[in-house]
């Protein structure tokens, strides 16, 4: 999921992204940012009052952290908002897009709903978008990045995405051996709960390939 900048515009895409997963509360956010990831991800749902940082579709695990507080804490670290859009359990993609619209210059957007990320891509092509999925499928070119579940990543998937100019950043990878396997396959980044550990693995594997990470 391509890192982005704040109001001064999106960063140039990096060679390899270490995306810290689920900075949904102040404690997790501080811990993940301390590891200096390439980017940090948080989940957002939608209530009648607007966007809510929460993973569960019923918003029952909301910590009270606001998107504005998340952006302020992240500082120069790019933020990826995963829109938890799962109709009929949640509002639909158009409602999410309206709620996200004012934030698009400052964030990247990821979702399991292809319509949502497609609408974001058409509305503001400069905003990096990621389509998340957990079953094998053909590469989609409307988004900047594909986010497959880590156990369905294959060389064919990566080569097909790269042929379409699309990055591949799988989720959620915490096992050292699997990190190394994915890097060797040619993924463009890793979503992880353990960004400090991932830094060490990435540095070792990329050095052999002549690639670089951002941190």
The string of pLDDT tens digits covering residues 99-140 is 999 999 999 999 999 999 999 999 999 999 999 999 998 766
| Peptide bond connecting 88 to the previous residue in cis, omega within 30 degrees of 0 | yes
Interhelix angle for 26-34 vs 67-74, to 10°?
A: 20
pLDDT of residue 39: 98
Q: What is the pLDDT of residue 170?
A: 98
Extended strands (E) in 33-171 = 39-47, 50-53, 79-83, 108-111, 129-133, 145-148, 167-168
pTM of the complete model: 0.90
Choice among 74-78, 106-110, 135-139, 171-175 with the minimum mean pLDDT: 135-139
Superfamily of domain 17-209: Phosphatidylinositol (PI) phosphodiesterase (3.20.20.190)
At 207 the pLDDT is 77
Tell me how many degrees the CA angle 123-33-177 measures, rounded to the nearest 5.
95
All structural domains of the chain with their residue ranges: 17-209
Q: From its phi and psi, is residue 165 left (phi > 0), alpha (psi between -120 and 50) or beta?
A: left
**H-run or E-run covering 98:** helix 93-100
Q: Please provide the average confidence, as pLDDT, over all residues in the chain.
A: 91
- What pLDDT sits at residue 212? 61
Residue 144 is encoded by which pair of tokens?
A: 């900047």
CA proximity to 81, closest of 130, 13, 144: 130
Tell me what pLDDT residue 208 has. Answer: 77
Helices and strands in the chain: count of H runs, count of E runs:
7, 9
Which residue is listed with tokens 């940090």? 40
pLDDT at 215 over 60: no
Residue pointed to by tokens 């960063």: 11
Q: Above 70 in pLDDT, residue 156? A: yes
β-bridge pairing 129-133 and 108-111? parallel
Among residues 17, 12, 20, which one has the least CA distance to residue 1?
A: 17
- Checking if the pLDDT of 62 tops 50, the result is yes
Tokens linked to 215: 């941190």
Q: What percent of the chain has pLDDT over 90?
A: 83
Identify each DSSP E strand in 115-211 by its residue range: 129-133, 145-148, 167-168, 189-192
How far is it, in rounded angstroms, from Cα 171 to Cα 189?
9
């Amino acid at each position: 999921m391509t890192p982005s900048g704040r109001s001064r515009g999106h960063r140039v895409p990096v060679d390899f992204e270490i995306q810290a997963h689920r900075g949904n509360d102040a404690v997790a956010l501080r811990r993940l940012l301390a590891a200096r990831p390439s980017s940090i991800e948080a989940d957002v749902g939608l209530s009648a009052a607007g966007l809510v940082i929460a993973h569960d579709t019923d918003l029952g695990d909301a910590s009270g952290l606001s998107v504005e507080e998340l952006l302020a804490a992240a500082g120069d670290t790019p933020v990826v908002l995963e829109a938890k859009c799962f109709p009929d359990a949640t509002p639909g993609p158009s409602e999410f897009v309206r709620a996200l619209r004012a934030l698009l210059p400052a964030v990247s957007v990821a979702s399991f709903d292809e319509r949502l990320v497609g609408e974001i891509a058409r509305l503001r092509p400069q905003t990096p978008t990621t389509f998340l999925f957990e079953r094998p499928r053909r590469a989609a070119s409307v988004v900047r990045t594909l986010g497959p579940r880590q156990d369905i990543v294959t060389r064919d998937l990566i080569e097909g995405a790269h042929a379409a100019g699309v990055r591949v950043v799988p989720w959620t990878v915490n096992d050292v051996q699997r990190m190394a396997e994915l890097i060797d396959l040619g993924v463009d980044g890793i979503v992880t709960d353990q960004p400090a550990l991932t830094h060490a693995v990435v540095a070792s594997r990329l050095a052999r390939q002549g690639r670089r990470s951002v941190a």
